[in-house]
Amino acid sequence: MSRKISVIGAGSGIFSLNMIKDLCLTPNLINSEICFMDIDEDRLDASYTLCKRFSEETGVKLNISKTTDRIECLQGADYVINTVLIGGYKGWKEGWEIGKKWGYRFGGSMHIMHDEAFWINFYQLRMMEDILQDIKRVCPDAWYIMIANPVMAGITYLQRKYPEVKSVGLCHGYSGIYELAEELGMNREDITFQIPGVNHFVWLNSFYHKGEDAKPLLDEWVNGAAVEFGKECGTSCGIGPKAVDLYKRYGLFPIGDTANPGGGAWGSWYHTSPEVEKVWNEDPDAWFKGYFEYSTGQVEFIKKAAYGDDKVSDLIDGGHSNEPMIPLIEALSCDVERVVIVNILNDNEYVAGVPRDFEVEIPALVSKRGIQGIKTLPLPKQILSRMLRDRIAPVEMELAAYESHDKNLMVDLIMMDPFNRTREQAEGFLEEILNLPYHTEMKAYFK
C-alpha cells in the first residue's frame, strides 16, 4: 500500500535521516512517498541528498522528493510531520541575554529561559495553525503529527479549536526511561512502564522488569550507586543528583525533560544561584552550550556526509532511532497495533486532575482505529499540584494572551516566572523583547 509522508521543516537533517532510517527498517512502509519541504534550500538539499543516498545504498525503495513550496508538499499527503523552528537558535539566545539582564535565570521557566520562550512560541503557534489550515484545504484526511515545540501549548490550542482535524503531538523525552533502565542493568525489551503527565513534565508511576515490580531495584540504586553516579555523569544529567532528590521528595522519578534544561530546568530552587547549582551538579548554560555545539556539528556532518565520497550507510548507525513517528505511522497505516507515547487532549481523563481540554502525554493504543488513549494510574497530589501551578497555568495564560492579543496578559505570563519579583520587571523585559527589530509583528499583535 502506498502512502505519502510530508515533512515540513525537513532541513533538520538528523531528524529527517532518523525517519528515513526507520522507514528503511519497516518493511510495511516500503514504497512510501516522502516529500521534504523547507525554505532553507541549502539545508533542504543536504537533507534530501543524504536521505536519498541512504535509501539507495540500503536497497530500500522509497520515493523521496523535495520542494520549497508547502502546498506542493501537502498535495496528496496522508501524514504531515511538522518539525519547524521559526528563526533558528538566534532568537533564543538574544532573548535569553535580555532575560538575564532583567534578573531571570535558567530554572523552572518554560516561557523565558527556555526554548519555549513566549517570543518563540508566538511564531510557532502561528506557524502550527497556518499549516493546519493548509491541511484542511489541501489534504483534509491527513494526520497532522506535531514534533515542533511547543507541543504542550500547540496541541492544547489546536485540538481545542480544530477537533475535526486528526492531530497528535510526539516527543521523545519519555525515552529517558531507557537511560535509567540501562543504569539499573536492565535491557529495554525487559521493561514496561507508565510515564504520564503533560509534555516536558512526566513521571514514572509504573515500572516493571521482567514482570516484577522494579521499584525496589530503583530504590536500591537511589540509596546506593546513584551517589557516585551523580558525581561522574556530567552537569544537568537527566538521572543525576537533582532527579534523584526529586524522586526522594515526590515519590516518583522525573523522566526525560521534566527536570533538565531541555524542559525548562524545573524546579527553580535548584537554580537560585551558581553556588546552589554546583551542589546539585547543575549548569543549564553549559548544557545549552553543548546542545548548540552538537546541533551545529550535526549540520556540518550532514553536509559532508551528503556530498562526500564515503558511503552514507558506513557513516551512520543503521539501527532504529528512538523517534516514535514511524512506529505511529505504521500502526495507523497497516493496522500494526501497538502502544505509542502520544500528546493529545485529556478528554477522557487519561490523567486524573488535569483539565479535560488540556494536553497530556500518555500511552495510547494505535491502530487502524486511530489513537485510543489509555487511562494511567493517578499521579500523587504533590506532583499534580506542581503540574497545575508550574506547567498548566502558565500555558493557559499564554494561550489567553495569544487568543485575545492582550499585552497585559503577556505581562501576567512573565510574572508567573519563578524569578520575577515586580510588575515593573516584567513590563521592562517585555518592552525590550518587543522592541527588537525582528519582533515588529509580535509588537503590533499584542495591544
Ranges of each domain in the chain: 4-172
Residue 342, strand partner residues: 362
CA distances from 348 to 196, 310, 357, 383 (A): 14, 51, 9, 20
pLDDT in the model for residue 95: 96
Pairing of strands 143-146, 79-82: parallel
Q: Let me know if 257 is a catalytic residue.
A: yes
> Which strands make up the sheet holding 206-209, listed edge to edge?
191-194, 206-209, 212-213
Q: Let me know if 111 is a catalytic residue.
A: no
Please compute the mean of the pLDDT values over residues 169-197 and round it to a whole number. Answer: 96
Share of the chain above pLDDT 70, in %: 99
Where do the H-state alpha helices sit in 308-371? 312-315, 325-334
DSSP assigned state of 277 = H
Note the pTM of the prediction, 2 decimals: 0.96
Distance spanning both ends of the chain, measured CA to CA: 51
pLDDT in the model for residue 329: 97
Backbone phi and psi for residue 229, each to the nearest 5 degrees, phi listed first = -60, -40
What residue has cell string 510515564?
Answer: 195
d(CA 204, CA 328): 22
* Contacts (Cβ under 8 Å, ≥6 apart) of 366: 328, 331, 332, 337, 338, 339, 340, 342, 372
Q: Model confidence over 421-443: pLDDT tens digits?
A: 999 999 999 999 999 999 999 99
pLDDT higher than 90, residue 317: no
pLDDT in the model for residue 59: 87
What residue has cell string 536497497?
Answer: 59
In this structure, are residues 193 and 206 in contact, taking their beta carbons and an 8 Å threshold?
A: yes
Taking 3-state DSSP, the helix, strand and coil percentages for the chain, each rounded to the nearest 5, stand at 50, 15, 35
pLDDT higher than 90, residue 312: no
pLDDT higher than 70, residue 365: yes
Pairing of strands 212-213, 206-209: antiparallel
pLDDT in the model for residue 321: 84
pLDDT higher than 70, residue 13: no
Element housing 275 (H / E): helix 274-279
pLDDT in the model for residue 314: 83
CATH of 4-172, picked from 3.40.50.720, 3.20.20.70, 3.60.21.10, 3.40.50.180, is 3.40.50.720
Please compute the mean of the pLDDT values over residues 146-168 and round it to a whole number. Answer: 97
24 — pLDDT class (breaks 50, 70, 90): confident
Q: What does R_g of the chain's alpha carbons equal in angstroms?
A: 22
Instruction: Check 172, 320, 406, 412 and give the catalytic one.
Output: 172
1 — pLDDT class (breaks 50, 70, 90): low
Instruction: Check 78, 115, 245, 257 and give the catalytic one.
Output: 257
d(CA 125, CA 118): 10
Share of the chain above pLDDT 90, in %: 82
Please count the other Cβ atoms lying within 10 Å of the Cβ belonging to residue 198. 25
The segment with the largest mean pLDDT, out of 8-22, 85-99, 296-310, is 85-99
d(CA 360, CA 341): 10
